[in-house]
Amino acid sequence: MAGQDIVVVGASAGGVEALMTLVSGLPRNLSAALFVALHLSSDGPSRLPEILSRAGVLPAVHPADGEPIEYGKIYVAPPDYHLLLERGCVKLIRGPKENRNRPAIDPLFRSAAHAYGRRAAGVILTGGLDDGTSGLFTIKQKRGLAVVQDPQEALYSSMPRSALAHVDVDYVLPLHEIAPLLTRLANEHRDGEDLRATDPSQDECQAEDKVTNMENNDLQREELKGDPSAFSCPECGGVLWEMKNGTLQRFRCRVGHAFSAESMLVEQSEELDKALWMALKTMEEKAELLQRMRDNAHQHSNSWLAQSLETRFVEAQRHSQTLRQLLVEGGLKLSEPGFDQELQVPPSRE
């Protein structure tokens, strides 16, 4: 049996420091290739390859589309692109955002699972919410290995805790123990095995990979294995299909935007926050207009109209104050529900 020579790593908040620690423990002759997806802003360039190259002995790069996969190299997803794996090479695509991010972790993990099967190892590090859980579930489905940073030491524990809650994880380790594990797993591969070789257990590229790759498909219900939900996509307004990876609820729209239930809650909260600010602006403008109309009625001795406008002005002020109070108190803001509480961390199976 081949070892894990395809290592995909996902991180979010606190991820730069965690990745530096991880790569600092990897040897120069590592018999594996690493692929990293870190949530990045799309507004500017990323210096992450330079940072990781300095932190360890392995070179890190933003790969070119179609670049061949080589052992002993770290491939970092560039800003505003999903990093995907094909047999023997990498692919960069500006596909639909997943869990509100591009690059996102789930597309990288899914592509590794479908291209390399049991040769893939997925690693979830520090981060908020739950990006990576669905992809790690797929890796396990294809007989790969799942490794999760111990959430008790992670700077942000939500991503590790989500993975532990929904995936049959193989190893739960402190950060400094992950690199030696990956080195040992990589060295178990068979001599002479080609990185382009396929795993006989894998099937054809699935519907979700076609969506991420921006291939022409209609996201038919039978392809997605999901049901149309009552929810609309926060990104484009389209209908969302509801799917499940084990116990993890997920949603995807016709054009491909994907959300976990947790990321949907956060996106809805932000949309609601925007709507409240817009409502406050409109209500205050309405109050000011009513005030001017009332004053104008007074100037022209139209007492009946002035009294009617005064009533409407006071009502608009009251509504404005209610909206302002909601925003000031933050009563409609959502935290990270479901993963704030302590979860029991299962023991390592090492």
DSSP 114-125: HHHGGGEEEEE-
What is the Cα–Cα distance from 261 to 251, expressed in whole angstroms?
7
Q: Residues with Cβ < 8 Å from 325, sequence gap 6 or more?
A: none
Supply the pLDDT for residue 263.
85
What is the Cα–Cα distance from 295 to 269, expressed in whole angstroms?
39
Cis bond before residue 180 (omega within 30° of 0): no
Which of 139, 104, 103 has its CA nearest to residue 122? Answer: 139
Supply the pLDDT for residue 337.
41
Over residues 20-37, the pLDDT tens digits come to: 999 999 999 999 999 999
DSSP 263-303: HHHHHHHHHHHHHHHHHHHHHHHHHHHHHHHHHHHHHTT-H
Hey, is 259 helix, strand or coil? strand
Task: Tell me the torsion sign for CA atoms 99, 101, 106, 110.
Answer: positive
Total Cβ atoms within 10 A of residue 156: 21
Structure tokens at 183: 């080195």
Over residues 152-204, the pLDDT tens digits come to: 999 999 999 999 999 999 999 999 999 999 999 998 754 444 454 444 444 43
What is the Cα–Cα distance from 16 to 19, expressed in whole angstroms?
5
Residue pointed to by tokens 């996509």: 233
CB 251, CB 236: distance < 8 Å:
no
Over residues 91-148, the pLDDT tens digits come to: 999 989 999 899 999 999 999 999 999 999 999 999 999 999 999 999 999 999 999 9
**Rounded to two decimals, what is the model's pTM?**
0.79
Total Cβ atoms within 10 A of residue 268: 14
CB 250, CB 265: distance < 8 Å:
no
Beta bridge partners of residue 61, listed in sequence order: 75
Confidence of residue 234 (pLDDT cuts 50, 70, 90): confident
Domain spans, the chain: 6-193+203-207, 218-256, 263-329
CATH class of the domain whose range is 6-193+203-207? alpha beta
Total Cβ atoms within 10 A of residue 79: 16
Strand pairing class (239-245; 248-253):
antiparallel
Among all residues, which ones are annotated catalytic?
12, 39, 131
First to last CA, the chain: 18
What is the Cα–Cα distance from 40 to 191, expressed in whole angstroms?
37
- φ/ψ of residue 79, rounded to 5: -55, 140
Q: According to the per-residue pLDDT averaged within each range, which of 57-61, 231-235, 301-305 is highest? A: 57-61
Output 226 or 164, whichever has higher pLDDT: 164
Report DSSP state, residue 98: B
Structure tokens at 241: 């299909």
Hey, is 251 helix, strand or coil? strand
CB 82, CB 102: distance < 8 Å:
yes
